[in-house]
Amino acid sequence: MSNDLQGKVILGDIRRVSPTLPNDFFQTIVTSPPYFGHRNYSNSDNPAEIGQESEPSQYIQNLVDIFRALRPRLKPDGLLWLNLGDTYRDKSLLGIPWRVALALQEDGWILRSDIIWYKPNAMPSSVTDRPTTDHEYVFMLAASSHYYYDADAIREPHVTFSEHSRMRGGRNHFGKAGGTPEAGKNAGNSNLHDGRWDQAFNPKGRNKRTVWEIPLSKFRETHFAVFPEKLVETCILASTREQDFVLDPFTGSGTTGVVASRLSRKFVGVELVREYQIMAQRRINDACSQLDLFSLMPPLSLVNAAV
């Protein structure tokens, strides 16, 4: 049963589909539900569509109910990555992402991180009486305190101190011009006691920070608001191993599935709108068949040896 699901995008309302999904199965959920009061994906009054509720409280309750039903489908050490943007009404910001996050916490989820997805190429806006919004949230939520998380898989480069840096030699880290903390006398020192945190330089890079600068995706095939692949990749790498199952209950154009396949993870998606379900299934099939082609190719060393 479980392997039959691999690579499938199931058509339907996630509330109807989730009871049919296996328990203790998914290592991670990476998803972006429609935002409250934004676009209508069905192009009709489909009461099953999330985001079209008249009141924020209904939207929040719907999301709480959906993720409550999905929790047993996650492995006990699984994680949920939830991307949400905000909405203005009568000039007032509703604060929806945080209201959802706190409601999920109230419902038993452990809220482990609030990540700011900063979009350097966000659409310009016509507002003149407030700053233009160029960020959204990604909440990292755990079903239990013992969850799988691979910090090494998503480390980022250390910030190096150049000769022009104001911090040059400031704490006597390196002692010579052009030296960097990670190459200096404390290289590889992971001794965190005694408050010496600033001397701990992991050679694989520094721990991932909570502001992720990721440009908006260029994929514009009908569906709006698609995930950038880099954003999904970061979530998947941090929370799964190869061959683990990833779920996206609001699949849209299928970006989570495409990235999961590329990273040798297995994927199941759910999508309400037929047009998007077909598009997502096609993109995921293409990603899987490209991978199959690669796996059939002889290793490069053999190709080179033949010429």
Ligand X SMILES: C[S@@+](CC[C@H](N)C(=O)[O-])C[C@H]1O[C@@H](n2cnc3c(N)ncnc32)[C@H](O)[C@@H]1O
Residue at shortest CB range from ligand X: 252
Should residue 250 be labelled a site residue for ligand X when binding is judged by CB under 6 A? yes
Size of the site for ligand X (CB under 6 A): 22
Nearest approach, Cβ of residue 128 and ligand X (Å): 28
What is the footprint of ligand X within residues 26-45 (CB under 6 A)?
A: 32-34, 41
Should residue 270 be labelled a site residue for ligand X when binding is judged by CB under 6 A? yes
Should residue 273 be labelled a site residue for ligand X when binding is judged by CB under 6 A? yes
Nearest approach, Cβ of residue 195 and ligand X (Å): 42
Nearest approach, Cβ of residue 234 and ligand X (Å): 14
DSSP output for the chain: -HHHHTTEEEES-HHHHGGGSPSS-EEEEEE-PPPTTS--SSSS--TT-TT--SSHHHHHHHHHHHHHHHGGGEEEEEEEEEEE---EETTEE--HHHHHHHHHHHTT-EEEEEEEEE-TTPPP---SSSPPP-EEEEEEEESSSS----GGGG-BPPPP--TT-TTTTTT-SS-STT--TTTSTTTT----GGG-GGG---TT-BPPPSEEE-PPP---SS--SPPPHHHHHHHHHHH--TT-EEEESS-TT-HHHHHHHHTT-EEEEEESSHHHHHHHHHHHHHHHHHHHHHHHSPPHHHHHHH-
Nearest approach, Cβ of residue 257 and ligand X (Å): 9
Site string for ligand X, 9-28 (x = CB under 6 A): ----xx--------------
Should residue 117 be labelled a site residue for ligand X when binding is judged by CB under 6 A? no
Should residue 226 be labelled a site residue for ligand X when binding is judged by CB under 6 A? yes
Residues in touch with ligand X (CB under 6 A): 13-14, 32-34, 41, 48-50, 223, 225-227, 250, 252-253, 255, 270-273, 276
